[in-house]
Amino acid sequence: MIDFEKMQAKANLYGVQLSSVQLSQLDKYSDLLVEWNTKMNLTGITDSEGIMTRHFEDSIALLKYVDVDSRSKVIDVGTGAGFPGMVLKIIRPDLDMTLLDSLNKRIIFLNDVAEKIGVKVKTVHLRAEEGGQMPEFREKYDIACARAVSNLRELAEYCIPYVKTGGKFVSMKGPNSSAELNSARPGIGTLGGKESAVSEYKISDDSERTIIVVEKIKSTPSQFPRSYAKIKKKPL
């Protein structure tokens, strides 16, 4: 069980006011995360404070540093246990949210969470590079976000193809991402993107974070994304 007062204080840091319903949804989400984690590896963070800070607060932070228009169509690429996508849907019920992951067990977990906390999301079991080539997903989203450890050069190729021209790719990274961004800029340009904002900040446990926003200024060439093997072997 999460501490509602502490969770609200964390959300306040990003200008977010949580309703009693949203707090209850986050509380149930936390319980399900811990319960399912005994059956499959979803997270190494299972204590209440850690879940509130490293998962929920970390996801909410995106709303302070990225302009997310009402009723935006959003895809969380490689969502894992639903961060940030499921949390964003709880905080912003107006969003049209798709959660994509390559592991079906995670998709089953996310469907259970969505049903039990009462939110409507679309879940997709696909590898990121496969979905990016499929007409029903390619260049259909206002925002593609990813909270991932993958290098930005690889992550950009996985995510930018999902974004429509005029939309955004949002990469949630740890500290010291400037060198990673410098090496990724040429590939981001090749994919039709242009860096528009970089925000560095700390969450409430003093962990350093970086949010990189890439604007989609032109359509992604049809050959991208390439296969996983080609992306790993020779990143853009």
Amino acid (one-letter) located at 223: Q
Fold entry, domain 69-233: Rossmann fold (3.40.50)
**Quick one: pLDDT at residue 82?**
98
Q: What is the pLDDT of residues 177-195, one digit of tens each?
A: 988 999 999 999 999 999 9
The answer, as to whether pTM is greater than 0.75, is: yes
Q: Locate the domains of the chain by residue range.
A: 69-233
Q: For 104-118, write each residue's pLDDT tens digit.
A: 999 999 999 999 999
The CA-atom distances, in angstroms, between 61 and each of 57, 106, 142, 199 are 6, 23, 18, 11
Say what the pLDDT of residue 108 is. Answer: 98
Which segments of the chain have a pLDDT < 70?
none
Paired tokens of 214 = 């890439």
| Model pLDDT, residue 115 | 98
Residue 119: predicted pLDDT = 98
Cα gap 61→54, rounded to integer Å: 11
Looking at residue 150, its pLDDT comes to 87
The span from the CA of 188 to the CA of 232, in Å, is 16
